[in-house]
Amino acid sequence: MFRNSATAFYERFVRPLLFSLDPEIAHYFAIACLDGASHLDLALQALKIFQPPLTSKTLFGLTFPNPIGLAAGLDKNGVALPAWAALGFGFIEIGTVTAKEQPGNPKPRLFRFPDQGALINRLGFNNDGADAIAERLCKLRASGRWPVVPVGINIGKSKVTPLAEAATDYAYSFRRLHPFADYVALNVSSPNTPGLRELQSREQLSILLRALQKENRAARKPLIVKIAPDLLPGELEKIVTACEENDVAGIIATNTTLDHSSIPAERDQEGGLSGAPLREKSTEFVRAIAARSAIPVIASGGIFDPESAREKFEAGAQLVQIYTGYIYRGPSLLREILTAL
């Protein structure tokens, strides 16, 4: 009864209100509300009505109260961690964070496609930078409001940094942020930073991973690699091999796609597509990695309901992340999925 009424309320009243706004303005409004709630005990308690049942899972030395996490991109600057935990996420991934603060690409840069259950973004790693976010997280930890669920920090290359200096750029972000991370995810697959996907080649990825594991000797944080869904089978094989050779703890499959075949040509936009059209391709990658390697897979892409979540687990995913599905379905989605599973 709760699930049906909460979902109906969101889809009938809240979503139309948010969708009446420019997508990026709606995003900032929602994040601002969750940021405010993160500082109020009463508000956090109220958000807990959406929490799903506990289905604890242990992976790479971390305990997850449930296997559904918040994907990177919704809370780039890590301003609302207590609220995400109160809403029932089993883990939270913030970012993508870059070594240098950057505004991202020119607006408009975020687009909705309700008929397809999709989003296209070309945000371009807009974030406050590693130093500012490390300071924010330090203050949150000192406040006593740090979430009890695992927190991942997703890091990427600053746009102004040449590709040849990518390892140094990532290493700086790692040094600043790893004290606050239960795991660190390396974003080498966003389509919105020029040249970034070149870091997915076996040679470039190996260089990056060796540099990060050198930084990681004392910290010993699980390193996760987030890959694109547009790789050819041979390219995926080389990435998995590089991950195996460099003690990667997990692979996130996948980032957004450049395949816009599901979007009407007259409405198409440049950028990475997420949401329901990505479901099948993401699942194929999960299945391919799980069949090839023992590295745990975190599935991301097209999870809107229990059926699409079950599909990811049956394909071999150990954990899943949601983003676009949460925007379309609302905060009762976690409970709906885990109750059904």
Active site residues: 190
DSSP annotation of 178 reads: G
For residues 21 and 187, what is the distance between their CA atoms, to the nearest angstrom?
29
Contact 207, 165 (CB under 8 A): no
CA contacts within 13 A on the Cβ side of 309:
23
Largest Cα–Cα distance in the chain?
55
For residues 74 and 253, what is the distance between their CA atoms, to the nearest angstrom?
17
Q: Which amino acid is at 271?
A: G
Residue 155 forms beta bridges with which residues? 97, 186
The dihedral through the CA atoms of 73, 257, 125, 133 has a sign that is positive
> What are the percentages of helix, strand and coil residues in the chain, rounded to 5?
50, 15, 35
Count of C-beta atoms within a 10 Å radius of residue 143: 11
Burial 86-117 (b: 16+ CB within 10 A, else e): bbbbbbbbbbbbbbbebebbeeebbbbbeebb
The vertex-95 CA angle with 92 and 99, nearest 5°, equals 140
Residue 23 three-state SS: helix
For residues 271 and 266, what is the distance between their CA atoms, to the nearest angstrom?
15
